[in-house]
Amino acid sequence: MSDARPISADPVHSDAPLQIEMSEQGATVLIKVSGMAAVEVVGQFSRALQEAAARKPRLLAVDLSGLSFISSTGLGGIVAAHVTCRKNDTRMCLINPKPMIREILDLTKLSSLFEICDSLAEAEQLAGVG
């Protein structure tokens, strides 16, 4: 008997906790996000984004490649960080969102607000850092 479980697209029944890693590499602050940015934990995500933006790097790169779900509140956190970055002359780039996350960005028209890159190297090249 196999103990493989079906992967649920339903965030209420998923057990992928939100994980956030922040690192600073020269003029770049990189935030790697994985798991689910559900309503219950999105405050942690928003605080990390604001903390990174407050450092006033030349580039704030937000790696979304491991993010499987984002709530509307999570999207609001990204927008708030974007506003802070604009005030600080920081370039912000979302890196490699999964197709489902990209679809949400497209449906909400946020993909026209944010720069979306396939890799950190591409983001750094656009921002002239690295």
Question: What's the token pair of residue 51?
Answer: 């903390």
What are the CA-CA distances from residue 101 to residues 4, 69, 116 (Å)? 25, 7, 12
Q: State how far the Cα of 130 lies from the Cα of 118, in Å rounded to an integer.
A: 16
Class level of CATH domain 16-123: alpha beta
Instruction: Please state the separation of Cα 87 from the chain's center in Å.
Output: 19
Q: State how far the Cα of 38 lies from the Cα of 74, in Å rounded to an integer.
A: 7
Residue range 14-56, pLDDT digits in tens = 457 899 999 998 999 999 999 998 878 888 999 999 999 999 9
Query: pTM to 2 decimals?
Result: 0.85
Strands 28-37 and 19-25: antiparallel
- The pLDDT score that the predictor gives to residue 86 is 95
Taking residues 53-61, report their average pLDDT: 96
Question: What's the token pair of residue 8?
Answer: 């649920």
Where do the structural domains in the chain lie, given as residue ranges?
Answer: 16-123
